[in-house]
Structure 1
Amino acid sequence: MAKTTKTEKPPKPELATPTDLQTNSALSVADALNGILADSFALYLKTKNFHWHVSGPHFRDYHLMLDDQATQILGTTDAIAERVRKTGNTTLRSIGDIARHQRIRDNDAEFVSPRDMLAELREDNLALVASLREAKDIVDEAKDNATSGILDDWTDLAEERAWFLFEASRNAA
């Protein structure tokens, strides 16, 4: 299906989950969350890519850290998608849908140095933090308290990942 935008009609009655949010507010929340969901999937796959392809003297430490971070990122995706559905909207349906919504860029390079991997993932996590903060403003304006509280948790997790990546990169090989 096509990307959901603020100008589209609400979902078909079969998928119309009841919500007390105003239609325009619910669509704004869904758009913000779908962007975060797409970025989360893109960041998950990039983190796993780097996990699979990291090399060098710190291999074990980086390999394990990236696996832990990928697991954490993937762990948020279901909750993000379910928040979209709870607002009476629909969420992403395919890899193509993710690609249309994602802002975090893929990395298809054959080789990336460990230092560059950590730096790129740090910047991507910080970009996700910025998107989460933007979404926080949107959901607070919509009076979507449940999403607002969860966004705080997701922001904290992304900030922690960025911090770990920063600290690990100080002596990256």
Structure 2
Amino acid sequence: MAEGDNSKKALADALNGLLADYYALYLKTKNFHWHVTGPHFREYHLLFDEQATELIATTDLVAERVRKLGQDTLTSIGAIAGKQRIKDHDSTSTDAAKMLKELHSDNETLVKALKEAKDLAEEAGDNATDGLLDDWTDQAEQRAWFLAATIGKA
């Protein structure tokens, strides 16, 4: 395999890791959307739903970049579990403040992974993926900012 092929394979692998993280964060955000309670219920319920919608919309774009690089995408929940860095959250009784903090931290984790993938896109000379990663990083930073501001950390 040529060096360019190796760099594209490494980029596709990083994108599959991002895909797993997007799915994991999407499901966690929906879990929190479905189970949030308290005096700010409506605000948080809508915030979580808005963020989940953005996350799930990005999954197709990430997967299509993997395919455009000539590689296979993730195929199952098991494949997602094997690559995700975002930890699952199975509780249905987490308080709203903890939900906000956890989603903020998870989005920060995603930002870091997106920036690492950007380095790989640059190494592979993949300008299209590079540009998309900028957009996805901006979205993740905005989600983190909204969550931080809601927590009172911003």
* TM class by smaller structure: over 0.9
Where in structure 2 are there 5+ consecutive unaligned residues?
Answer: none
Unaligned runs of 5+ in 1: 1-9, 11-20
Task: Tell me if the contact between 2:100 and 2:151 (Cα under 8 Å) persists in the aligned partners.
Answer: yes
Within a 5 Å distance, the mapping from 1:36-75 to structure 2 comes to 36-75=18-57
Which residue does 1:13 correspond to in 2? none
Matched to 2:72, the amino acid is T
How far residue 25 of structure 1 moved from its aligned partner, in angstroms, is 1.2
Deviations 1:58-103 (CA, angstroms, capped at 9, x unpaired): 0000000000000000010000000000001001000000000101
Asked if structure 1 preserves the Cα contact closer than 8 Å seen for 2:31 and 2:92, the reply is no
Rg bigger for which structure?
Answer: 1
Overall identity of the aligned pairs, in %: 60
More helix by share: 2
Confirm or deny that 1:156 pairs with 2:138.
yes
TM-superposed deviation, 1:29: 0.7
Q: How does 1:124-163 map to 2 (within 5 A)?
A: 124-163=106-145
TM-score by length of 1: 0.85
Comparing 108-117 and 143-152, the one that deviates more: 108-117
Which of 11, 18, 23 is matched with 2:5 structurally?
23
Q: CA deviation at 1:167?
A: 1.0
What is the distance in 2 between the residues matched to 1:156 and 1:75?
A: 15
- What TM-score do you get using the length of structure 2 for normalisation? 0.96
* C-alpha distance after superposition, 1:87-140 (max 9, x if no partner): 010010000000001010001124111000000000000000000000000110
1:102 matches 2:84: yes
Conserved? CA contact 2:12–2:69, under 8 Å:
yes
Structure 1: which 4+ aligned runs deviate by more than 2 Å? none
Distance in 2 between residues matched to 1:79 and 1:110, nearest whole Å: 30
1:123 corresponds to 2:105? yes
Write the deviation string for residues 17-75 of structure 1: whole angstroms up to 9, x where unpaired: xxxx9221111011100000000000000000000000000000000000000000001
